[in-house]
Structure 1
Amino acid sequence: MQRETMSMASRLRQLLFPKAVLNNGSQLRDHLANERTFLSWTRMGLAFAAMALALGRLGMIDHVFTKYNAQLSSNPTNISPETATKTKPTISADKDNHDGKSFSAGGQSDILASQLCWTISIGSFGYGIFRYVSVRRTLIQGRFVPAIWGPVLMTTCSLGSLATLLHSGGGFQRHELKK
Protein backbone atom coordinates (compact mmCIF):
# COMPACT_ATOMS: atom_id res chain seq x y z
CA MET A 1 0.00 0.00 0.00
CA GLN A 2 2.79 2.41 0.89
CA ARG A 3 4.66 1.56 -2.33
CA GLU A 4 1.56 2.40 -4.43
CA THR A 5 1.14 5.69 -2.61
CA MET A 6 4.78 6.64 -3.22
CA SER A 7 4.53 5.67 -6.87
CA MET A 8 1.37 7.75 -7.27
CA ALA A 9 3.04 10.66 -5.49
CA SER A 10 6.07 10.47 -7.79
CA ARG A 11 3.79 10.43 -10.89
CA LEU A 12 1.91 13.43 -9.54
CA ARG A 13 5.20 15.22 -8.87
CA GLN A 14 6.34 14.51 -12.44
CA LEU A 15 3.10 15.98 -13.80
CA LEU A 16 3.27 19.08 -11.62
CA PHE A 17 7.02 19.65 -11.84
CA PRO A 18 8.33 18.44 -15.21
CA LYS A 19 12.01 17.72 -15.76
CA ALA A 20 14.24 20.30 -17.37
CA VAL A 21 14.76 19.87 -21.11
CA LEU A 22 18.12 20.52 -22.73
CA ASN A 23 18.11 23.51 -25.04
CA ASN A 24 19.58 21.73 -28.06
CA GLY A 25 18.87 23.53 -31.29
CA SER A 26 15.38 24.94 -31.21
CA GLN A 27 13.97 23.18 -28.12
CA LEU A 28 13.26 26.37 -26.20
CA ARG A 29 11.73 28.12 -29.20
CA ASP A 30 9.52 25.12 -29.96
CA HIS A 31 8.22 24.86 -26.40
CA LEU A 32 7.50 28.58 -26.21
CA ALA A 33 5.66 28.38 -29.54
CA ASN A 34 3.62 25.49 -28.11
CA GLU A 35 2.68 27.64 -25.10
CA ARG A 36 1.68 30.55 -27.37
CA THR A 37 -0.49 28.20 -29.41
CA PHE A 38 -2.17 26.96 -26.24
CA LEU A 39 -2.87 30.54 -25.16
CA SER A 40 -4.27 31.25 -28.62
CA TRP A 41 -6.74 28.35 -28.31
CA THR A 42 -7.68 29.64 -24.86
CA ARG A 43 -8.25 33.14 -26.27
CA MET A 44 -10.44 31.66 -28.99
CA GLY A 45 -12.47 29.79 -26.36
CA LEU A 46 -12.94 32.97 -24.32
CA ALA A 47 -14.04 34.89 -27.42
CA PHE A 48 -16.70 32.31 -28.25
CA ALA A 49 -17.85 32.22 -24.61
CA ALA A 50 -18.25 36.02 -24.67
CA MET A 51 -20.19 35.77 -27.93
CA ALA A 52 -22.46 33.10 -26.45
CA LEU A 53 -23.15 35.29 -23.41
CA ALA A 54 -23.91 38.28 -25.62
CA LEU A 55 -26.26 36.30 -27.85
CA GLY A 56 -28.10 34.95 -24.83
CA ARG A 57 -28.49 38.39 -23.27
CA LEU A 58 -29.54 40.02 -26.53
CA GLY A 59 -32.13 37.31 -27.04
CA MET A 60 -33.61 38.04 -23.62
CA ILE A 61 -33.64 41.80 -24.26
CA ASP A 62 -35.26 41.23 -27.65
CA HIS A 63 -37.93 39.12 -25.98
CA VAL A 64 -38.66 41.84 -23.39
CA PHE A 65 -39.05 44.55 -26.03
CA THR A 66 -41.23 42.30 -28.19
CA LYS A 67 -43.60 41.65 -25.27
CA TYR A 68 -43.62 45.37 -24.39
CA ASN A 69 -44.40 46.44 -27.97
CA ALA A 70 -47.14 43.82 -28.18
CA GLN A 71 -48.71 45.20 -24.98
CA LEU A 72 -48.57 48.74 -26.32
CA SER A 73 -50.02 47.81 -29.71
CA SER A 74 -52.83 45.71 -28.24
CA ASN A 75 -54.12 48.50 -25.98
CA PRO A 76 -52.93 51.90 -27.31
CA THR A 77 -55.93 54.00 -26.20
CA ASN A 78 -55.56 53.30 -22.48
CA ILE A 79 -51.89 54.26 -22.29
CA SER A 80 -50.91 57.90 -22.23
CA PRO A 81 -47.39 59.00 -23.17
CA GLU A 82 -46.64 59.72 -19.51
CA THR A 83 -47.67 56.25 -18.33
CA ALA A 84 -46.00 54.56 -21.30
CA THR A 85 -42.61 55.79 -20.12
CA LYS A 86 -43.34 54.71 -16.54
CA THR A 87 -44.66 51.27 -17.47
CA LYS A 88 -42.11 48.51 -17.24
CA PRO A 89 -42.34 45.48 -19.50
CA THR A 90 -43.21 42.22 -17.81
CA ILE A 91 -41.60 38.93 -18.63
CA SER A 92 -43.72 35.84 -18.40
CA ALA A 93 -42.65 32.25 -18.57
CA ASP A 94 -44.75 31.49 -21.65
CA LYS A 95 -43.37 31.79 -25.17
CA ASP A 96 -46.41 33.43 -26.73
CA ASN A 97 -46.86 37.07 -27.60
CA HIS A 98 -50.03 38.96 -26.75
CA ASP A 99 -51.46 38.35 -30.19
CA GLY A 100 -51.01 34.58 -29.90
CA LYS A 101 -48.05 34.32 -32.26
CA SER A 102 -45.27 32.09 -31.09
CA PHE A 103 -41.99 33.76 -30.22
CA SER A 104 -40.03 30.53 -30.54
CA ALA A 105 -39.57 30.76 -34.33
CA GLY A 106 -37.08 33.64 -34.17
CA GLY A 107 -35.82 32.96 -30.68
CA GLN A 108 -34.83 29.38 -31.42
CA SER A 109 -32.13 30.42 -33.87
CA ASP A 110 -30.70 32.87 -31.32
CA ILE A 111 -30.68 30.13 -28.69
CA LEU A 112 -29.14 27.69 -31.16
CA ALA A 113 -26.40 30.17 -32.09
CA SER A 114 -25.66 30.80 -28.40
CA GLN A 115 -25.48 27.08 -27.64
CA LEU A 116 -23.27 26.53 -30.69
CA CYS A 117 -20.90 29.24 -29.45
CA TRP A 118 -20.79 27.61 -25.99
CA THR A 119 -19.98 24.27 -27.62
CA ILE A 120 -17.20 25.81 -29.72
CA SER A 121 -15.82 27.53 -26.62
CA ILE A 122 -15.67 24.33 -24.59
CA GLY A 123 -14.23 22.45 -27.57
CA SER A 124 -11.56 25.10 -28.02
CA PHE A 125 -10.50 24.86 -24.37
CA GLY A 126 -10.44 21.06 -24.53
CA TYR A 127 -8.57 20.87 -27.82
CA GLY A 128 -6.07 23.51 -26.66
CA ILE A 129 -5.05 21.56 -23.56
CA PHE A 130 -5.03 18.25 -25.46
CA ARG A 131 -2.88 19.72 -28.21
CA TYR A 132 -0.50 21.37 -25.75
CA VAL A 133 0.12 18.14 -23.83
CA SER A 134 0.51 15.99 -26.94
CA VAL A 135 2.88 18.43 -28.68
CA ARG A 136 4.91 18.78 -25.50
CA ARG A 137 5.26 15.02 -25.26
CA THR A 138 6.37 14.66 -28.89
CA LEU A 139 8.77 17.63 -28.66
CA ILE A 140 10.50 16.04 -25.68
CA GLN A 141 10.93 12.91 -27.79
CA GLY A 142 12.46 15.02 -30.56
CA ARG A 143 9.51 14.69 -32.94
CA PHE A 144 6.60 16.85 -34.03
CA VAL A 145 3.14 16.00 -35.42
CA PRO A 146 1.45 18.86 -37.27
CA ALA A 147 -2.17 19.70 -36.49
CA ILE A 148 -4.76 18.93 -39.15
CA TRP A 149 -8.16 18.25 -37.62
CA GLY A 150 -8.22 20.89 -34.89
CA PRO A 151 -8.02 23.88 -37.24
CA VAL A 152 -10.38 22.21 -39.73
CA LEU A 153 -12.94 21.53 -37.00
CA MET A 154 -12.64 25.05 -35.55
CA THR A 155 -13.09 26.64 -38.99
CA THR A 156 -16.13 24.48 -39.73
CA CYS A 157 -17.74 25.26 -36.36
CA SER A 158 -17.03 28.97 -36.73
CA LEU A 159 -18.62 29.05 -40.17
CA GLY A 160 -21.57 27.06 -38.81
CA SER A 161 -22.17 29.55 -36.02
CA LEU A 162 -21.87 32.44 -38.50
CA ALA A 163 -24.42 30.79 -40.79
CA THR A 164 -26.78 30.27 -37.84
CA LEU A 165 -26.44 33.93 -36.86
CA LEU A 166 -27.06 35.08 -40.42
CA HIS A 167 -30.05 32.76 -40.70
CA SER A 168 -31.56 34.27 -37.57
CA GLY A 169 -31.36 37.69 -39.20
CA GLY A 170 -30.01 39.30 -36.07
CA GLY A 171 -33.53 39.80 -34.74
CA PHE A 172 -34.36 42.74 -37.03
CA GLN A 173 -36.58 41.18 -39.69
CA ARG A 174 -38.90 39.10 -37.55
CA HIS A 175 -40.24 42.02 -35.46
CA GLU A 176 -41.27 44.45 -38.18
CA LEU A 177 -44.69 45.97 -37.66
CA LYS A 178 -47.28 44.93 -40.20
CA LYS A 179 -49.72 47.55 -41.45
Structure 2
Amino acid sequence: MFQRLRTIFQSPTLQNTGSLARDLLASERTFLAWTRTGLGFIALGVALEKVEAFAALSPTLLHLENSRTKLAAGILVSSGSLCVAHGTQRYFSTMRELQRGVFRPNVVGIQLVAATSIAIAVAGTFMVWENGEEQRRKREAGERRGSVKG
Protein backbone atom coordinates (compact mmCIF):
# COMPACT_ATOMS: atom_id res chain seq x y z
CA MET A 1 0.00 0.00 0.00
CA PHE A 2 2.77 2.47 0.92
CA GLN A 3 4.62 1.57 -2.26
CA ARG A 4 1.53 2.51 -4.27
CA LEU A 5 1.19 5.83 -2.45
CA ARG A 6 4.89 6.50 -2.96
CA THR A 7 4.58 6.00 -6.71
CA ILE A 8 1.58 8.34 -6.84
CA PHE A 9 3.31 11.17 -4.97
CA GLN A 10 6.85 10.67 -6.24
CA SER A 11 8.14 13.11 -8.82
CA PRO A 12 9.63 11.79 -12.03
CA THR A 13 13.40 12.02 -12.47
CA LEU A 14 14.24 14.30 -15.39
CA GLN A 15 17.42 14.80 -17.37
CA ASN A 16 18.91 18.21 -16.67
CA THR A 17 19.25 19.31 -20.27
CA GLY A 18 19.65 22.97 -21.06
CA SER A 19 18.09 25.06 -18.34
CA LEU A 20 15.30 22.64 -17.36
CA ALA A 21 16.34 22.33 -13.71
CA ARG A 22 16.75 26.10 -13.32
CA ASP A 23 13.38 26.72 -15.01
CA LEU A 24 11.57 24.16 -12.85
CA LEU A 25 13.09 25.60 -9.67
CA ALA A 26 12.05 29.09 -10.77
CA SER A 27 8.55 27.74 -11.35
CA GLU A 28 8.52 26.36 -7.80
CA ARG A 29 9.52 29.79 -6.43
CA THR A 30 6.73 31.36 -8.44
CA PHE A 31 4.26 28.83 -7.05
CA LEU A 32 5.37 29.75 -3.53
CA ALA A 33 4.83 33.43 -4.32
CA TRP A 34 1.29 32.71 -5.57
CA THR A 35 0.64 30.73 -2.40
CA ARG A 36 2.06 33.45 -0.17
CA THR A 37 -0.11 36.07 -1.89
CA GLY A 38 -3.21 33.90 -1.58
CA LEU A 39 -2.56 33.15 2.08
CA GLY A 40 -2.09 36.88 2.69
CA PHE A 41 -5.54 37.60 1.24
CA ILE A 42 -7.04 34.75 3.29
CA ALA A 43 -5.36 35.95 6.52
CA LEU A 44 -6.60 39.50 5.93
CA GLY A 45 -10.14 38.22 5.38
CA VAL A 46 -10.04 36.14 8.57
CA ALA A 47 -8.63 39.10 10.53
CA LEU A 48 -11.38 41.35 9.18
CA GLU A 49 -14.01 38.82 10.25
CA LYS A 50 -12.49 38.71 13.75
CA VAL A 51 -12.67 42.50 14.00
CA GLU A 52 -16.40 42.31 13.29
CA ALA A 53 -16.75 39.61 15.95
CA PHE A 54 -15.10 41.94 18.49
CA ALA A 55 -17.44 44.75 17.40
CA ALA A 56 -20.43 42.49 18.08
CA LEU A 57 -19.12 41.88 21.60
CA SER A 58 -18.32 45.51 22.34
CA PRO A 59 -19.95 47.96 19.91
CA THR A 60 -18.85 50.90 22.07
CA LEU A 61 -15.20 50.06 21.40
CA LEU A 62 -15.46 49.41 17.67
CA HIS A 63 -18.06 51.27 15.66
CA LEU A 64 -18.66 48.77 12.87
CA GLU A 65 -22.40 48.26 13.13
CA ASN A 66 -24.14 48.04 9.74
CA SER A 67 -20.75 47.62 8.07
CA ARG A 68 -19.94 45.37 5.14
CA THR A 69 -17.02 43.61 6.77
CA LYS A 70 -18.55 40.15 6.33
CA LEU A 71 -18.80 40.73 2.58
CA ALA A 72 -15.26 42.12 2.45
CA ALA A 73 -13.92 39.19 4.49
CA GLY A 74 -15.65 36.72 2.17
CA ILE A 75 -14.25 38.43 -0.90
CA LEU A 76 -10.73 38.39 0.55
CA VAL A 77 -10.90 34.72 1.53
CA SER A 78 -12.36 33.79 -1.87
CA SER A 79 -9.73 35.82 -3.73
CA GLY A 80 -6.97 34.21 -1.70
CA SER A 81 -8.32 30.73 -2.32
CA LEU A 82 -8.53 31.40 -6.06
CA CYS A 83 -4.98 32.74 -6.02
CA VAL A 84 -3.67 29.56 -4.38
CA ALA A 85 -5.69 27.40 -6.78
CA HIS A 86 -4.42 29.33 -9.80
CA GLY A 87 -0.83 29.11 -8.57
CA THR A 88 -1.15 25.35 -8.15
CA GLN A 89 -2.69 24.88 -11.59
CA ARG A 90 -0.10 27.17 -13.13
CA TYR A 91 2.79 25.28 -11.52
CA PHE A 92 1.71 21.90 -12.87
CA SER A 93 0.90 23.20 -16.36
CA THR A 94 4.26 25.01 -16.51
CA MET A 95 6.06 21.85 -15.41
CA ARG A 96 4.43 19.85 -18.23
CA GLU A 97 5.20 22.56 -20.79
CA LEU A 98 8.85 22.83 -19.73
CA GLN A 99 9.23 19.06 -20.06
CA ARG A 100 7.95 19.37 -23.63
CA GLY A 101 10.37 22.23 -24.29
CA VAL A 102 7.77 25.04 -24.52
CA PHE A 103 6.70 27.87 -22.26
CA ARG A 104 3.62 30.09 -22.05
CA PRO A 105 3.69 33.42 -20.16
CA ASN A 106 1.06 33.86 -17.45
CA VAL A 107 -0.66 36.92 -18.88
CA VAL A 108 -4.21 36.11 -17.75
CA GLY A 109 -3.22 35.17 -14.19
CA ILE A 110 -1.22 38.35 -13.72
CA GLN A 111 -4.06 40.47 -15.09
CA LEU A 112 -6.62 38.78 -12.83
CA VAL A 113 -4.53 39.20 -9.68
CA ALA A 114 -3.77 42.83 -10.52
CA ALA A 115 -7.43 43.61 -11.24
CA THR A 116 -8.58 41.81 -8.08
CA SER A 117 -6.00 43.61 -5.94
CA ILE A 118 -6.99 46.99 -7.37
CA ALA A 119 -10.70 46.23 -6.88
CA ILE A 120 -10.11 45.18 -3.26
CA ALA A 121 -8.05 48.34 -2.62
CA VAL A 122 -10.73 50.60 -4.13
CA ALA A 123 -13.55 48.84 -2.26
CA GLY A 124 -11.55 49.02 0.98
CA THR A 125 -10.96 52.72 0.49
CA PHE A 126 -14.68 53.34 -0.01
CA MET A 127 -15.54 51.24 3.07
CA VAL A 128 -13.11 53.21 5.24
CA TRP A 129 -14.36 56.53 3.85
CA GLU A 130 -18.02 55.52 4.32
CA ASN A 131 -17.38 54.36 7.89
CA GLY A 132 -15.58 57.63 8.67
CA GLU A 133 -18.46 59.67 7.27
CA GLU A 134 -20.96 57.67 9.32
CA GLN A 135 -18.92 58.28 12.50
CA ARG A 136 -18.73 62.01 11.69
CA ARG A 137 -22.51 62.21 11.22
CA LYS A 138 -23.11 60.40 14.52
CA ARG A 139 -20.67 62.68 16.34
CA GLU A 140 -22.36 65.80 14.90
CA ALA A 141 -25.81 64.49 15.81
CA GLY A 142 -24.61 63.85 19.38
CA GLU A 143 -23.17 67.33 19.63
CA ARG A 144 -26.44 68.85 18.42
CA ARG A 145 -28.40 66.86 20.99
CA GLY A 146 -25.96 67.98 23.70
CA SER A 147 -26.33 71.66 22.77
CA VAL A 148 -30.15 71.42 22.67
CA LYS A 149 -30.25 69.98 26.22
CA GLY A 150 -27.82 72.58 27.57
TM-score of Structure 1 vs Structure 2, range by shorter chain: 0.7 to 0.9
Query: What is the TM-score when the length of structure 1 is the normalising length?
Result: 0.66
| Greater relative CO, 1 or 2 (CA 8 Å, sep 6+) | 1
Alignment-mate amino acid for residue 132 of structure 2:
F
Number of corresponding residues: 132
Q: What is the deviation of 1:16?
A: 1.6
Alignment-mate amino acid for residue 155 of structure 1:
A
Q: What is the deviation of 1:114?
A: 1.1
Q: Which has the larger radius of gyration?
A: 1
Alignment-mate amino acid for residue 132 of structure 1:
Y
Aligned twin of 2:127 = 168
Gaps of 5+ in 2: 144-150
Alignment-mate amino acid for residue 21 of structure 2:
L
Gaps of 5+ in 1: 1-8, 70-102
Give identity over the alignment, percent: 27
Q: Separation in 2 of the partners of 1:126 and 1:39?
A: 12
Root-mean-square deviation (CA, aligned residues, Å) is 2.1
Aligned twin of 1:121 = 80
Q: Separation in 1 of the partners of 2:100 and 2:75?
A: 37
- Deviating above 6 A after TM superposition, structure 1's stretches of 4 or more consecutive aligned residues are none
**Which of 143, 151, 155 is the matching residue for 2:102?**
143
Tell whether the 8 Å contact from 1:112 to 1:164 is kept in structure 2 after alignment.
Answer: no
Q: Separation in 1 of the partners of 2:101 and 2:116?
A: 32
Structure number with the higher helix fraction is 2
Query: What is the TM-score when the length of structure 2 is the normalising length?
Result: 0.78
Q: Separation in 1 of the partners of 2:100 and 2:22?
A: 15
Q: Separation in 2 of the partners of 1:146 and 1:36?
A: 15
Q: Separation in 1 of the partners of 2:116 and 2:84?
A: 14
Alignment-mate amino acid for residue 40 of structure 2:
A
Within-5 A mapping of 1:96-115: 103-104=65-66, 107-108=67-68, 110-115=69-74
**Which of 5, 9, 15 is the matching residue for 1:16?**
9
**Which of 134, 139, 164 is the matching residue for 2:93?**
134
Q: Separation in 2 of the partners of 1:164 and 1:62?
A: 20
Residue 42 (structure 2) pairs with residue 49 (structure 1): yes
Q: Separation in 1 of the partners of 2:57 and 2:114?
A: 34
Tell whether the 8 Å contact from 1:31 to 1:136 is kept in structure 2 after alignment.
Answer: yes
Q: What is the deviation of 1:112?
A: 2.0
Aligned twin of 1:74 = none
Q: What is the deviation of 1:172?
A: 3.5
